Structure formats: C-alpha cells, structure tokens
A and B are shown apart, each in its own frame.
Chain A
Amino acid sequence: MKREIGGGPPVAELENIHLSFGGLQALQDVSVAVKPRERLAIIGPNGAGKSSLFNIISGIYTPSSGTIRHKGEARPARMRPYEVARLGIARTFQNIALFSGMTALDNIMTGRNSLMRRGVLGEALQLPWARRQEIEHRRRAEEIIDFLEIPSVRQTPVGALPYGMQKRVELGRALAAEPELLLLDEPMAGMNLEEKEDMCRFVLDVNEIHGTTLILVEHDMGVVMDISDRVAVFDYGRKIADAAPDDVRRDQAVIDAYLGTAHEH
C-alpha cells in the first residue's frame, strides 16, 4: 500500500518559536513543520525542549514569541487545550494521564468529549438524538477497542491494568478524538520488546489506514529509525538537525550531541 505524504499545507507549522521560563530559555528560534500523513520523530537529550514543543502545539504553553500555523493559517498564540483539541489535535503523555478509577472503555469515551454535542436536558431525559449520539460514540469507542486488541480489559479499571496496557488505553483515548494530528510523548517508554512491537504496529496502522499525521518524541533509537519518515533533533532548546533517519544517523552534530558514538578527532 502506498502512502502519500504531503499535499496541502503542513498540518502544524511552528516558526521562530521562543519559549522561556524566567531566565531559562526552553526553546530558541525553533522552526519545524509536519506535512499531512507524515511521521515526524523528535529526539534529543533530556531537557532539549521536546516536551515543551509538544506543550506549545497542544496549547498548554504559550510561546514568548513566534508563529504557530494550523493547515497554513495562523493560530492565536494563546489557545486553551480544548480549543486545540477541536482543531483535530490529540496527544498522549509521557507519564500516563488516565482516570485510574474508570474503566478502559470509559477512559476512551472521554476522548470523544470534543466531538460531543451537549445538552444536559436531552441527556437526562434520554431524548432520541441524545441516545443516537451516545450509541454512535460508543460504536466508535468499540472500534478503537477492537483495533487496539483490548476487548478483554474493556470493563477493567485502568488502575488495575499493567503498564503496557495503560499505554494502549491512552493511545485509544487520543484516537477517540479522531485526530488529524497525533502527538505521542514517549509511547514506548518502559515497555518490553513485545509491547514495543505491538505499539509500533498500532502507530503505523493509525498512520497508514486513517492517514493520521504523527509527531512522536521517543528515546528508543531503533523505534525512531524504523518508523519515522523524518527526524528532528533538538539540543539545548535548539533544532540542530532535521532530515531523513539515515541522514540524521550520519550527521556529525547529532552524533556529538546525542547519539554519543565514538568518532575520530
């Protein structure tokens, strides 16, 4: 199956972004763009600014200066996370952020929040349209459960699930929002080999079947090199490389900053 990357303006585009916390420069003059259906990986040592970048795209941080564009149109610098969600952007977190007392199914249903039409009265009285809406959302949630192969834990409280499963549920919640752009913050962290292989398969399927654009932050170089179309490398708040995986692997600046491979002086 062929996958067409590009076509149309970048799904997300950051231009000359600066972000500082007090005196600390978290991001300095960063420009990065992701094309439709592309898989972009962001790598860099701890504190390089990877998560800050995510938080800017998802509206948690507001940059000190710079422009954010969504599909070619400038976005207000200050946006609430739920407004960003309505643009079709969803994310997972480095440390799992699920409702641990709720079931896997209910957690995934919360991901439908941005797509639900509200009406307290209609919901309370179970009016026909409210019921139809509920059934439709549940159907979508079930499709995700099937896709992620987690029907056996559908009714299990998330807190009782093993770590790898929780990661899967969190991906499910992000997918429930039917995002065009999915931000994955270390989706493979803490997983064993088998869980990583499963997760890679799900991530690739999301991208190839649904055409979802992906940005992922990941430390596992094997995973990054295998699944991404392009790798952006960050160091001390600056982007030091942005190229295809094979080129990045050979880039001397990257090796010095990050990969740490021995090289001749």
Chain B
Amino acid sequence: MAGIPAANTFPRLLRANAEHMGSLPAYREKEFGIWQTWTWSEVDDEVRFLALGLRSLGLERGDRFAIIGDNRPSLYWSFTAGQSIGAIPVPCYQDSVADEIAYVCEHAGVRVAVVEDQEQVDKLIEVRDRLPELRAIVYTDPRGLERYDEVEGLVGVEAVVETGRGLHGRDPEDYEREVARGRPTDIAAILYTSGTTGRPKGVLLTHANLIEPARRAVKFDNLTRRDEVLAYLPMAWVGDFVFSIAQCHIAGFCVNCPESPETVLTDLREIGPTYFFAPPRIFENMLTSLMVRMENAALLKRRLFAFFLDVARRVGCDILDGKRVHPLQRLLYAVGNLLIYAPLRDVLGLGRIRVAYTAGEAIGPDVFRFFRSLGINLKQLYGQTEASVYVTIQADAEARADTVGSRFPGVEVRIQDQEVQFRGDGVFQGYYRDEAATAKTMTEDGFVRTGDAGYFDEAGHLRIVDRAKDVGALTDGTLFAPKFIENKLKFHAWIREAVAFGHERDMVCCMINIDLEAVGDWAERRGIAYSGYTDLARQEEVYELVRGGIREVNADLAEDPALRGSQIRRFLILHKELDADDGELTRTRKVRRAVIGQNYGELVEALYAGRDSCRVVAEVTFEDGRRGTVEADVRIWDVDASAPMAAAA
C-alpha cells in the first residue's frame, strides 16, 4: 500500500486508497448527534465532483484558493479537490479577525475561498474591496445565509458539487487527466505561519515535501488503517495538514471531525483516538481541570486517588519504558490501573492511545510525567512549518520531559552558533513572494535556520533552550533566557502565561496571567469573593500564591550557576488575560514579548522604577471586533532571590 510509486501527489494517494480500501472509513463527522461516516470511495467521488465544480468557478492551475473554517470533512476534501486541478490551497486560521484574513488572502492573491459558514462569509464580505481577485466564495453551511442572495459570487458547496457531477457525466476522463498533470514538485499548499514577530509568512510546500516525511513518520510509529484520530486543531496549522491529510492518506486511517469546538472533550471520549496530538497547554488544561474535580470529590475517592497517583509517580514511567520494576510495585500498579488509571484514561478520552505527541512549546515535566505514568505513551517532537513538521522526534523508550528527541529519519540537524539548523526532503521551497525572508532563513548549503538556540546532550537528544534572538543579557552581563524562565513559571498550575523582561536591564521582572479556573477554584474554596478575572487578579491572597510559585522558580534558577543572576526580583499580575485578538499572543498562543512590552510600557517602567502600583488603561478588542478600554490599578510586588542550596548549607 505504502509502496505504490505513482501515489506521489495527494490526489493520486486518494485514488489509490479508493481502489485498495474503498469501503473503509476515511472521514467521520458528528451531525445531529450521530457520527456520519464517509468511505474512501465516497470521498473520492466528493473530491472529484468538487474539483470539477471549483474549476468551473474559474479556479485554474497555479491559482491560490483560501480554506477557512473549523475542521469539517468537506473542507478537508476541498484541499485535495483543489490540488487535483493544480490549484494551491491556502488555509487560514478560522478565529482570525477579518483584517488578518484579508492580509493572507491579499498576499496569496486568492481566486476562490471555500469557507465553513456565515461567520467566515461575513469576514470576507467586510474586506472584499481589498481582494479584487476573489471571484467566488463557496460556503459549506447555508445556515443564516438565506438573506445573502445579492452577494456576488456566493455559492453553496452542494451547488458546486452538482455542477462538477454534471461535468463528470459529460466527460468521465476529465478528472483523471487533471490528476495526471500533477507533479510531486508542484506546490501542495501555502501555510502561513503566525510568527511571534511581524506579519505572517507563506511557507511553500510541495507534495513531495509533505508526503515523504509523513510517510517516514507513519513507519516510525507503525500507523495503520485501523488507527483513529480526532481533527480538532486549526486546519491552517502544518501539523493538522500532516496528521489529518498527509498521514491519513498514506496510512489510510480515519479522521474524525468534532461536532463543534465546544464539544471536543465529549467527542474525544466517544471516538477514543489511537493517535493523538495536542500542544502542551491542552495537556496542562486537562490536568488542571482533573485536579480541580478531584479536590471536590468525596474523601475516600480523594485518598484512593492520591495513593495510586503516588504509586504511578514512582513506577508508572518505568513500566511504560519497559524498565525493571519490583514485582510488588508492578502488582500495585496493576491494581491502580484497574481502579484508577484505566477509568481516568477513559474519562479523558485517552483510553485507546497508542501514540500521542506534544510539541510547539516546552511541556511541564510534572505534566509530561503525569500522563506517561498513567500509561499514556506521550512523546515529544520538534518541528516547524518550514520542515513539513519533523526535525527531531522521541522514540517510544526515549520519551523525556526536557528534550525533544533525536533527529528524525532522513533529516540532518546541526548546531551553529547555538542555533539549531536542519536539512532534508521536507524543507520548504521558500516564503511566498518574500525572497528577502527566504534568503535570511536558508543557508547557502541548504540548511534552514530555526531561530531556536539548543544543543545535543550526551545521549544525542536535542534540548531547546530559547529563541536564539530572545537570549539576552542583564546589564551586569548575566545570561537572560526569557522563555526558559517563562516556561518554568507556566509549569505552575496557578500561572497561565508569563512574560519576563530583563534584557539590558539591571534585574529580571515579570508579568503574570493567572489561570482563572485553577485560581478561581482555589479562591472559592477559601471564601474569597471575586467578580471576574480582573478582580481576582488583584487580590492580595492571589499575589501571595503567585509569589510562592515564583520563589520556587528562583530556587530552581539558583541551582544553575549560569542563570543564578537572572532570578525574578519583581512581578505583577496583569489586569487582563493576554489575547490573540489584541495581538499579544499568536494564534497558536505564543507570547509576543515585543508587543506586550509596548502595550504595557507603563507597567514595565513601573516595575523597574520601583513603584508598588501602577494605574493602567488598556485597549481591548471584544469578541465582536469592537474596541474598548479596561481600567485598573495593578499592584507590583517584590520577590527575594534564593541562594543555591550548597551555599546555604
């Protein structure tokens, strides 16, 4: 199956699957409370008709077209349909505001947009005058669009498919001829990276770029047609393309689309995926809400939970790694599995996991070990859009919290001036319409600069320290690695986001976002009244709680001679949650330090001026796109530096 040489583009992979396993499930979606299934041969038909239909809208070979919406089978099919006729899909983040979508669509010069619903149609209508090349908007959900009959070029996907069906009836070889014209070196997608600085850049990836590494990853983890995945991460993100399209087409497994973004946890449980990806924050959220729920459980349950969690902590990871464990401990773990771990895995929807990955950010060691100790094979990988995901990966027995694994098969990785660089067949073709950025990222010998500072440890595992350009120094020359510090802070359940400042300053200060769920529950338990995030964030008890966490981080930093001087000396809790809509986080929820430093310049100055509070008026973007202001008094507290344990003794 994996050896068919002709299947070197996505449309050909689909044709091969329809021939070899036509009756097996390819995509599922929950509709009206019931999971609906499409087999490979049904998908083949849908894609064929949609392809010819899209072409009839004026979408031609080489044209770009946008895809915007939540994970829906018909949107996934539009990728392959467009590729069949040589058009290039440009997926956009579905929660982007109209202006962000306009930037991407304008930059890519999209001819057609295939979108999910009224919400996305409205955004495109709002910015249509910036998109003169946009000829047609195809929607998949007609809900609420009955009153839009005067909008030019707006058409339902069903009508497009019908047109395609008619065209196919008149010339059944038409589609095959289109697919035959495709080359593995054709661009298969332009994926815009959110980027922590500046405007997004369009990463050009060919069919070969995406297919070859994905094929190796399928082999690496023995993925088969019997695997199941839940597609819930943004379709515009390279990982979703690789997991839900590339690997699904190569291994032939089934992709399940959630009913709605709000039902993901229920859907996860119903599907019980065997192969799963989630960024660290999702695992962190799962653990936090689990702990909150356990705090509220009956005493007996709580005791039992604590006891067996302790057993798992001691031996769970070793058992999963296949190490030798005392038979008595093994027996205890087996009892725990029966009583606690298995039901827990099931409740979390992780009961059938064979392979799970996390990537994108550092994961807290406690969080990582918690899931592994429950018997969930959670591993890390390190990747980039520019690499078609894979740079390094952890094998089953090599899972560690503080590394991102060894190099991925077929990829060369080197460290030059602290920076991680890689080369391989997944390497992108350049940034679309941005030669300057391409030249800056690619070295002369074909390596890609990741911009991440890292090193290989004795075992040959890569460790990422920080973004290379973020590593700075305090005025006294002490090394300052902001992300390293922020990650340590975020490993605390109370702290959701942290932003550290210190480059060319005399000390390290930080801004904190508390975790509303965890701290809110903690506050309720103590009878502390609060009316919302802003109110909770300014309570003295909460400051005390956060200061405790920061002290622990300082004690940690004190142990490292290189970082001892970069302990946190002052902090404040922000009056509002950092938000991607305000440009403070990227769409993948990475902190934009420069934007925050600018937006909260007053607060930064107050931190360094030694003041104990600061009045702020912050501009915020509400969910409906309106802008408004929030006003608050933000307290600033000091923290003591820790001395290293050895020195204290």
Contacts and interface: CB of A to CB of B under 8 A. Distances in A.
B260 A151 contact: yes
A209 B146 contact: yes
Contact of A146 (B32, B144, B262, B623): B32
B465 to A, nearest CB: 40
A155 B262 CA distance: 13
Nearest to A149: B260
The bracket for how many chain A residues form the interface is: 10 to 19
Contacts of B259: 151-152
Interface stretch (A33-41, A137-145, A222-230): A137-145
Contacts of B30: 151
A233 to B, nearest CB: 29
Contacts of A124: none
14 contacts: A139-B32, A142-B32, A142-B33, A142-B34, A145-B33, A146-B31, A146-B32, A151-B30, A151-B33, A151-B262, A152-B259, A152-B262, A194-B623, A209-B146
> Considering the complex of A and B, which 7 residue pairs feature the smallest CB-CB distances, nearest first?
A152-B262, A142-B32, A142-B33, A152-B263, A1-B146, A151-B259, A1-B147
Given A152-B262, A152-B266, A205 B144 contact: yes
A1 B149 CA distance: 7
Interface residues of B, number: 16
A78 interface: no
A251 interface: no
A201 interface: yes
Contact of A151 (B147, B149, B263, B623): B263
Contacts of A155: 266
Contacts of B32: 139, 142-143, 145-146
B431 to A, nearest CB: 38
Contacts of B260: 149, 151-152
Given A145-B32, A146-B32, 12 more contacts: A1-B146, A138-B33, A142-B33, A145-B33, A149-B260, A151-B259, A151-B263, A152-B262, A152-B263, A155-B266, A205-B144, A208-B146
A154 B144 contact: no
A197 to B, nearest CB: 9
A174 B623 CA distance: 30
A138 B147 CA distance: 29
A151 B149 CA distance: 28
Nearest to A197: B624
Interface in B500-532: none
A11 B261 CA distance: 40
B31 to A, nearest CB: 8
B259 to A, nearest CB: 5
A152 B267 CA distance: 10
Contacts of B266: 152, 155
Interface in A119-157: 138-139, 142-143, 145-146, 149, 151-152, 154-155
A145 B30 CA distance: 13
A145 B266 CA distance: 16
B69 to A, nearest CB: 15
A151 B263 CA distance: 7
Contacts of A138: 33
Interface string B12-46: 00000000000000000011111000000000000
A161 to B, nearest CB: 13
Interface in A32-67: none
Interface string B416-452: 0000000000000000000000000000000000000
Contacts of B31: 146
